[in-house]
Structure 1
Amino acid sequence: MFWSEFLTVVVVHLLAVASPGPDLAVVLKNSISLGRRSAIFTSIGVGCGILVHVCYSVLGIGLIISQSIWLFNIIKWMGAAYLIWIGIQGLRAKQRQMPELAVSPELKLSDRRAFISGFMTNGLNPKATLFFLSLFTVVIQTSTPWPVQLAYGLYMVLATMLWFCMVSWLFSTARVRSKFMQVGHWFDRTMGVVLVSLGIRLLLSSRS
């Protein structure tokens, strides 16, 4: 009964998760700079961040957010501030003496902090908020039972984790990392510019 709706959700989500954005930038940065383990925990965090959007959408809080400019702007400013903060960390990256595949002690990130970086990046992403508001108000019918809507959400969580874990695995392989590590500090700084730019763009954007 809900298969056609589910397939629509699958296609729309696939297009959204594969498009460049803060999630991809953070996962790529951690894959190259910190290695596979940190990148995978970041990917899991990104996937779990989707649970935030799914929960308020299923519960109907998303409708309140969509009708409240000030509440939406608070989320937008929080997300922008976080993107700018992690972007600045990338801009402060120092040149390494030798290109090495091993992660130096000062660059290591605990599993918990790697998870939080992914979770916060997605959870505070206002574009993700808009995406799920649109998905749960346009694509998913209001008559769809909430357990089915929750199942859609869990699928998107798992699919997102799988996608970014694949990205983590690819960009943390020895050959790819060895190439990037030769200009590792410039890669970090480039990702920092991207994240800061995204944050500033969010701060300057307006919603009528």
Structure 2
Amino acid sequence: MTLLLAMIRHPSDTELVDRFKEGDRTAYTEIVRRYQDRVYTLAFRWMHDDQIAREVAQDVFLALYRALGGFRGDAKLSTWIHRVVVNHCKNRRLYRRRRQTDLHEPLEGRRTDDDVPARQLAHDGPGTDAAIHRSEAEALVREALEHLDEEQRTIIVLRDVEDLGYDEIADILGVARGTVKSRLHRARATLAKVLSRRIDQRDVI
């Protein structure tokens, strides 16, 4: 009985999509409630601007409303939403790049399991004040990520920021799992080189 009540109160994404297709618009409201924080957070980490992140989130959920009736479930709803956020952010960045020569859109990194995560690339080691060091390291990573190309920045934010699995990233980007891993390895290597130069410059200063 408890399990049945839990299923009623917390329907799966598939159930919500089916209800929407049957005319239940409250299902769309539930999907928005379920994903709004995640969409905003991802957009903010891409754009590093609160207002633009909110606009991207609005655009994403408008696109979701228009497309949900034809959603076939070839990929998970969460994967599809991530893909739409990434595409909207890329379009926004491209638009801004065309309008200005100096673009500052920092991101931040987090964990991984088979290579050095982006955040740790700027770590100087133990012995420093944890809070101050973490703040400085994250600032270095944000600055360094500005020097990565779009492909490298995308793979870093999906894996090290959003902590998505390789298979889901592959679905979002439309590439093979092995391609995701090789791109991530190259992106982290590039980031490490940029960080190394910036740390050296900071030490000189």
TM normalised by structure 1 equals 0.26
- Give the structure, 1 or 2, with the largest relative contact order (CA under 8 Å, sep 6 or more): 1
Q: Which has the larger radius of gyration?
A: 2
Instruction: Give the structure-2-normalised TM-score.
Output: 0.26
The structure carrying a bigger helix percent of its residues is 1
